[in-house]
């Protein structure tokens, strides 16, 4: 059962307030809508904004909020109904223009669609989307020259030449112009031989032309660089036995889906996550490659920290898709993020049983075991993953690093150090590895000069990383150099003021340096920043009694922040 944010507040209100819930006024519904938005509760946002809009039906601002929530949920039909009111209030609302344009596009009212798309062309991605959609609208009208002329507009936009070449090939292919399609596919492939979609489309075209030998060449070339790509692996597997494939893009509608999908893929980061979700949701009803778009949508939802929605999208990927194993692995990672560790481990164990040679699945299972502090099981699983690796994988160093952390927890220090040194060799001195290995040697009192140099180098490589900076300060503390310890621990607190352990470290440093008042302030700051329950008694005791004079400065007294073992981190 989902509770509204206002109801959640009412549960903790005074008895008088709890007994008298507010009426559903415009103000109350609007406030609920805002709060649902802040909690990323799209269902609540839709419900409460509908209530507010029902009482103020001409309110364009409310309509725009409801429109955006519907698009983010994938309810494009409802968004279409709201789009005219949104545009009436805000004629520059790009997504509303695209939604109305797509409705015209699907109904083959291509001139009307172009009018809407052109109104959305005022940002770089808006120009890209509008130009490509306009070109395909001309293709829908059977006008190749007009379509290619429209694509020429991308010449003035830096960085869009790949899109132009790719869609020139797709349009010429769709319209049956083999000469232009041959040239354009070759050009697109030369510009972007590492683009998965270009390789898929070009290989598909070559197969349909009966040129399986060249299709196999480009598939194998791609797999040389990305030997784990399940989509190309499947296309290569199907090459000998499967019948001639359908065109990669068979209709203008499917092309529109490809356009929005490709833009969503380019925007999938935390900063652009909402835009990526928007474009992926617009792609989903149009695409001929639903599973691929669902995977992209799920990744974008994950970047927005909407973990439940991300899981829901992964779950929709078909059971027979080459992406099914990947989807199950990502669902397990989402379960780890939500701290559902046993469920994640069970899902990953099933995946490894189904696909025992899947390196990523084994690595992820190792990380889940490590996150759950099952270090023996983690080490065994990392052993299996490393046995499957060729050593040339891009993230090979990270697997050795993760296993090194695991051995460190098992107090198998020789094995741990060997793995860290292997990770340093493969990663060309990654700062995470330098930091961990250097600090662990300081902790054990060995190779002190080399160890301190490692941690210093890690800080020089990532000077704005608060955790690594804190490690150097804590290393100086362990070495009883309290002056340098204060310098780096103070900087770490400046970089990450909300981390309780970093604040605790600075308090310890101040106490050892005779700055007891400042030490207590930092320990109180650590408590105010909500440390883990297990850390609270230790910090509270320091705040009350300080550090005893005979305390040996060891990391066990205040855990370091360098160990990522509690977080799902699989490279």
State how far the Cα of 184 lies from the Cα of 179, in Å rounded to an integer.
9
Average model confidence (pLDDT) for the chain?
Answer: 88
pLDDT at 569: 35
- Local confidence band at 4 (pLDDT 50, 70, 90 cut-offs): very low
HSE of 345, CA atoms in CB hemisphere, 13 A? 16
Q: How many CB atoms lie within 10 A of CB 253?
A: 19
pLDDT at 445: 87
Q: Which residue has the tokens 């300080």?
A: 546
pLDDT at 564: 41
pLDDT at 554: 45
Dump pLDDT digits (tens) for 84-107.
Answer: 999 999 998 999 999 999 999 999
pLDDT at 5: 36
Q: For residue 126, what are the contacts with CB-CB under 8 A and spacing of at least 6?
A: 94, 120
Nearest Cα neighbor of 278 from 305, 253, 252, 260 is 260
The answer to whether residue 571 scores a pLDDT higher than 70 is no
Tokens of residue 35, six digits: 């709060």
CATH assignment of 465-571, given 1.10.10.60, 1.25.40.10, 1.10.3720.10, 3.40.50.620?
1.25.40.10
What ranges do the domains of the chain cover? 465-571
State how far the Cα of 55 lies from the Cα of 181, in Å rounded to an integer.
55
Dump pLDDT digits (tens) for 482-527.
Answer: 999 999 999 999 999 999 999 999 999 999 999 999 999 999 999 9
Give the rounded percent of residues in the chain with a pLDDT score beyond 70. Answer: 88
Dump pLDDT digits (tens) for 120-136.
Answer: 988 888 899 999 999 99
The answer to whether residue 143 scores a pLDDT higher than 90 is yes
Q: Model's pTM, two decimal places? A: 0.82
Nearest Cα neighbor of 368 from 396, 337, 344 is 344
Could you give the C-alpha distances from 480 to 225, 283, 446, in angstroms and in order? Answer: 48, 59, 15
Tell me if residue 90 falls in helix, strand or coil.
coil
The answer to whether residue 566 scores a pLDDT higher than 70 is no
- Local confidence band at 21 (pLDDT 50, 70, 90 cut-offs): very low
Q: Residue range 58-74: average pLDDT?
A: 89
pLDDT at 268: 59
Dump pLDDT digits (tens) for 403-428.
Answer: 999 999 999 999 999 999 999 999 99
Nearest Cα neighbor of 205 from 161, 240, 235 is 235
- Local confidence band at 50 (pLDDT 50, 70, 90 cut-offs): confident
State how far the Cα of 364 lies from the Cα of 571, in Å rounded to an integer.
9
The answer to whether residue 199 scores a pLDDT higher than 80 is yes
Contact 208, 245 (CB under 8 A): yes
- Local confidence band at 192 (pLDDT 50, 70, 90 cut-offs): very high
Query: Does residue 170 or residue 91 have the better pLDDT?
Result: 170
The answer to whether residue 175 scores a pLDDT higher than 90 is yes
Query: Does residue 445 or residue 96 have the better pLDDT?
Result: 96
pLDDT at 7: 30
The answer to whether residue 562 scores a pLDDT higher than 60 is no
State how far the Cα of 6 lies from the Cα of 47, in Å rounded to an integer.
13
Dump pLDDT digits (tens) for 355-395.
Answer: 999 999 999 999 999 999 999 999 999 999 999 998 778 88
- Local confidence band at 18 (pLDDT 50, 70, 90 cut-offs): very low
């Amino acid at each position: 059962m989902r509770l509204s944010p206002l109801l959640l507040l009412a549960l903790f209100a005074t008895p008088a307030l709890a007994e008298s819930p507010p009426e559903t006024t415009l103000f109350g519904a609007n406030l609920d809508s805002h709060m649902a938005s802040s909690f990323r509760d799209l269902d609540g946002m839709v419900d409460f904004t509908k209530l507010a809009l029902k009482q103020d039906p001409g309110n364009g601002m409310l309509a725009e909020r409801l429109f955006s929530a519907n698009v983010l949920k994938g309810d494009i039909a409802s968004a279409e109904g709201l789009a005219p009111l949104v545009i009436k209030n805000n004629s520059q609302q790009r997504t509303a223009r695209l939604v109305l344009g797509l409705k015209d596009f699907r109904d083959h009212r291509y001139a009307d669609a172009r009018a809407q798309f052109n109104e959305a062309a005022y940002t770089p991605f808006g120009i890209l989307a509008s130009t490509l959609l306009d070109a395909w609208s001309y293709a829908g009208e059977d006008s190749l020259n007009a379509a290619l002329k429209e694509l020429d507009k991308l010449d003035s936009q830096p960085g869009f030449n790949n899109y132009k070449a790719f869609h020139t090939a797709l349009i010429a292919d769709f319209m049956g112009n083999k000469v232009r399609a041959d040239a354009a596919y070759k050009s697109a492939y030369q510009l972007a031989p590492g683009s998965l979609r270009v390789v898929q489309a070009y290989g598909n075209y070559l197969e349909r032309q009966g040129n399986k030998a060249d299709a196999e060449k480009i598939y194998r070339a791609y797999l040389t660089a990305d030997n784990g790509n399940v989509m190309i692996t499947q296309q290569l597997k199907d090459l000998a036995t499967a019948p001639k494939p359908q065109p990669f893009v068979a209709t203008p509608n499917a092309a529109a889906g490809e356009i929005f999908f490709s833009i969503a893929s380019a925007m999938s980061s935390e900063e652009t996550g909402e835009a990526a979700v928007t474009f992926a949701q617009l792609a989903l009803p149009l695409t001929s490659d639903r599973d691929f778009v669902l995977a992209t949508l799920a990744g974008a939802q994950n970047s927005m920290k909407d973990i439940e929605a991300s899981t829901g999208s992964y779950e929709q990927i078909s059971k027979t898709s080459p992406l099914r194993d990947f989807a199950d692995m990502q669902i397990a990672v989402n379960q780890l993020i939500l701290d559902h560790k046993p469920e994640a481990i069970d899902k990953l164990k099933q995946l490894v049983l189904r696909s025992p040679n899947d390196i990523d699945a084994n690595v992820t299972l190792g990380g889940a075991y490590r996150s759950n502090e099952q270090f023996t099981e983690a080490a065994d699983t990392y052993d299996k993953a490393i046995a499957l690796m060729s050593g040339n994988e891009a993230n090979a160093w990270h697997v050795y690093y993760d296993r090194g952390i695991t051995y460190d927890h098992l107090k198998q220090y020789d094995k741990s150090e060997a793995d860290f040194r292997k990770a340093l060799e493969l990663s060309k001195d990654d700062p995470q590895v330098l930091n961990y290995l250097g600090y662990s040697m300081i902790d054990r009192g060995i190779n002190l000069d080399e160890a301190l140099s490692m941690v210093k180098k890690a800080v020089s490589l990532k000077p704005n990383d608060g955790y690594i900076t804190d490690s150097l300060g804590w290393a100086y503390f362990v070495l009883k150099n309290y002056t340098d310890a204060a310098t780096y621990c103070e900087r770490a607190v400046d970089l990450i003021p909300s981390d309780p352990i970093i604040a605790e470290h600075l308090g310890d440093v101040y106490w050892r340096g005779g700055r007891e008042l400042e030490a207590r302030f930092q320990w109180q700051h650590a408590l105010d920043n909500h440390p883990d329950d297990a850390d609270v008694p230790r910090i509270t005791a320091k705040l009350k009694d300080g550090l005893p004079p005979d305390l040996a400065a060891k990391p066990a007294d205040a855990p370091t922040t360098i160990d990522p073992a509690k977080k799902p981190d699989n490279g």
